[in-house]
Structure 1
Amino acid sequence: MLKVISYNVKGLNAPVKRHSLAAEVQRLKADVVCLQETHFKRLAHPLLRIRNFNTQYHATGPTRAKGVSILIRSNVVFQLHRKISDPRGQYLIPICSLNHKIYTLVNVYSPNTEQLSFIFGVLRRVSLVATGSLLVCGDFNYSIDPLKDIRSPKILIPTKQIFCSIDSPPPFPFHLRC
């Protein structure tokens, strides 16, 4: 069983934030770490020195905004089959083997506006390439239950509708009846 954690880190350019993240990841004994809002600039990001996490993938934009990363623990048997990376740094989709099982990992950092159309677009793209078990992580900037979220507009769109609205839903590890 893999232990996966996902964090919106709200920027990792400060060494103290990278150190705190490393301590938390080690404490939780995570195997896969999905990070959103890393704020790394393309080709100028610092190396995330987290012990036993030598496999790292990053999607960065042209500025120090957005950004997603996926880190894989060294003791996980890993093989990358394909990687799709958003040039704006808002999603990263590696199709890979983790401990000899095929996964499509999706790490998303959704914009603050037009979240649903963004999510639909990413899921459409995923549906074209998804292989094995699908694991979706991220910060969707969208509330599953807007009635309980005081910061959210009170527009209720059921989560099921999000996944059923694309032409060909991706293969979910559970049954989703649309």
Structure 2
Amino acid sequence: MERTTKENILKVNITTWNVRGIRKLAKLKQVLNRLKHFNSRIIFLQESHLTASEIHLLTKRWQGQVYFSSFTRHARGVITLIHKSIPFQTTRVITDPNGRYVIVQGRISMLEINLINIYAPNEDNPSFYENLFLTISTLEGLYIIGGDFNCALDPNLDRSSQTDTTHTQTRKILFNYMKDLRLNEVWRTRNPNNREFSCFSSSYQSHSRIDYFLISTELLPCVENCWYNSIVISDHAAVCLSVRLGEVDQGVKRWRMQTFLLKDPSFVKFIETCIDQYFQINKDETTASIRWEAFKAYIRGEIISYSSNK
């Protein structure tokens, strides 16, 4: 267990926005001006439609760090922007070759944090989230996950039609991992019975709330506000989150095994081998209680090692 104290308070405005393409310079400038109006310092953009060779259109207009995952000039693409005023020290970046997500792991002062920008498939695709969350679960630190999830968590409240039978498996996977990783959907937590929409579909003439933030439970007390802006420039609204990152008090950090690992056959086999080896070596020389306490420390270390190397 580790004990930490509160760090200097750092209030940050974070915005996630599906911009539906920013290859045209006029639209890129519109988007950046609106983000400036929001005073956004950490930004998750989806559907940039910028290729690796075109990302300079944005980098030369942004003062700070830029991380991206591209696909084609007409589809997908995610970009994470971190303003130079944010003392974020990047330690690792994971990008999706299909332009669906970018994960930026780093540190603000003593706070380890993972910034995860998602543009999920439109169809019911639980395997996308399975693979993504298996990667996310190996990362140390707290989570701020934002983006276009393409899935309304509560169809009764989050869709104008109040029906959605097309994303049942995706929704189930999302709820399972939210529970395992102790993630909270910020806006709904603060607005349990309200209705708000983030996307308008001209094809179906319907509204839905499929853009949102999932954050670690430890960050919830640090949230000042979370709100949806008007649907302009794109057919999605920008979602803003105001959070005091430097005020996080992680207190006593207790290790908690991620239960989804038990569904991994290779993990189960690995643990069975570890258990057999431990009790072959540690037999009756000590009391049962001492062996048990030592075993818990040993198996915890083996699980952490397995997860970090997955």
Report the TM-score, using the length of structure 2 for normalisation: 0.50
Structure 2 unaligned blocks of 5 or more: 1-10, 184-215, 219-258, 260-310
Question: Using a 3 Å threshold, how does the CA distance of structure 1 residues 155 and 86 change in structure 2: closer, same or farther?
Answer: closer
Paired positions, count: 173
Per the alignment, in what secondary structure is the counterpart of residue 12 of structure 2?
coil
Query: How far apart, CA to CA, are the structure 1 residues paired with 2:124 and 2:173?
Result: 16
- 1:142-153 matches, within 5 Å, as 142-148=151-157, 149-150=159-160, 153=164
Structure 2 residue 181 is matched with structure 1 residue 174: no
Aligned 8 A contact 2:95 2:102 in 1: yes
TM-score, normalised to structure 1, is 0.83
Tell me the equivalent position of 2:74: 64
Match of 1:15 among 12, 25, 44: 25
Specify which of 67, 71, 80 is matched with residue 90 of structure 2.
80
Identity %: 24
Structure with max Cα Rg:
2
CA distance in 2, matches of 1:160, 1:112: 16
Alignment of 1:164 onto 2:176: yes
Residue 165 of structure 2 aligns with an amino acid whose one-letter code is: K
Deviations 1:39-98 (A, max 9, x none): 1123333421445x3211111125531000000111111211001000111000110123
Superposed, 1:91-106 pairs within 5 Å as 91-106=101-116
SS of residue paired to 2:29: helix
Structure 1: stretches of 5+ with no match in the other structure: none
AA paired with 2:143? Answer: L
State the SS of the aligned residue for 1:87: coil
Superposed counterparts of 1:30-45, under 5 Å:
30-45=40-55
Over aligned residue pairs, what C-alpha RMSD do you find? 2.7
Deviations 1:146-169 (A, max 9, x none): 234146623685968624259x93
**In the alignment, residue 170 of structure 1 is paired with which amino acid?**
L
- Distance across 2 between alignment mates of 1:37 and 1:62: 10
2:149 is the counterpart of 1:140: yes
The 2-side partners of 1:56 and 1:132 are apart by 21
Residues 79 and 102, structure 2, Cα contact 8 Å, conserved in 1: yes
SS at match of 2:57: coil
| Greater relative CO, 1 or 2 (CA 8 Å, sep 6+) | 2
More helix by proportion, 1 or 2? 2
